[in-house]
Amino acid sequence: MTGMNLRRAYAVFLRYMMLLRGSPQRVFQIVVWGALDLVLWGFLTKYLAEIGGATLGIIPTLLGAVIFLEFTTRAHQGTSTPALEDIWSNNLLNYFASPLKIGEYILGLFAASVVTSALSLAVLLAVALFAFGFTFSIGLVLLGYLAVLFIFGIALGVFGVCIVLRFGPSGEWWVWPLTALLSPFMGVFYPLAVLPEWMQTIGYLLPPTYVFEGMRAILLGTESPGGLLLGFILSLVYLALSYGVFALVFRSVVRSGMLSRHSAESV
């Protein structure tokens, strides 16, 4: 990261912003899927409340879980999608034929994810408020929760880029479901205690677990399990690991010539 040029990182960020500005369908897919999930879960919780199968405390926890999960997914895909755009357009090699450093490229992806994640979160909160009258009433701890989810999502996104670099463009099919594959271990809609012990062990290694557990405790008025600081530290560890893996994979594909030979049939 020494000698990082922010202008080069900004160029990576700006290219993706230009793609979004010139392609409304890209913006549409960023916001529509999460909003659709929220609407479906929102009406389901209203139905459960009407038939007496859900308490008032369960409803906000389910909606809050959907918002947090979608925010994590947006952070993940907001990082990996710009890199996939570069690979699809055969632009990645052009980037690294320039003086662009690995850290500058990842910083550009990080900045792009900030914008797309914030956009998605704003839409989700607006839908939750106007359609279901839901707002987060958990205080400033909300910012800590969002930070943990965002950093972990970035780490997943960088790791997803590693998969595509190693296996080629068709490796993207391993990238899109990363957050969904981990969600059963994170206790998104249920306490971690209901899981088998081996799943709980994995869950405690995932930073979002501490967010979902803490959010449920606050909204249900039960004793908070804490762990936000641990979740934050774990998210930083995963981010550092993903950066290290990216650097190793990138150097490997450069040496082997795979960077210039990616094709949809390479897996």
pLDDT in tens, 14-43: 988 988 887 888 888 888 888 898 998 888
Q: What is the pLDDT of residue 140?
A: 79
Question: Domain ranges in the chain?
Answer: 6-260
DSSP-derived letter for residue 227 is -
Q: Is the pLDDT of residue 265 over 60?
A: no
CA-CA distances (angstroms) from residue 134 to 2, 141, 219, 255?
45, 17, 12, 52
More confident residue, 164 or 112: 112
Query: In this structure, are residues 98 and 245 in contact, taking their beta carbons and an 8 Å threshold?
Result: no
Output the CA torsion sign for 6, 8, 12, 15.
Answer: positive
CA-nearest of 69, 61, 164 to 117 is: 69
Q: What is the pLDDT of residue 264?
A: 40
> Environment class of residue 210 by beta-carbon count within 10 Å: exposed (0-12), middle (13-18) or buried (19+)?
buried
pLDDT tens by residue, 193-218: 899 999 999 999 999 999 999 888 88
pTM of the full structure: 0.88
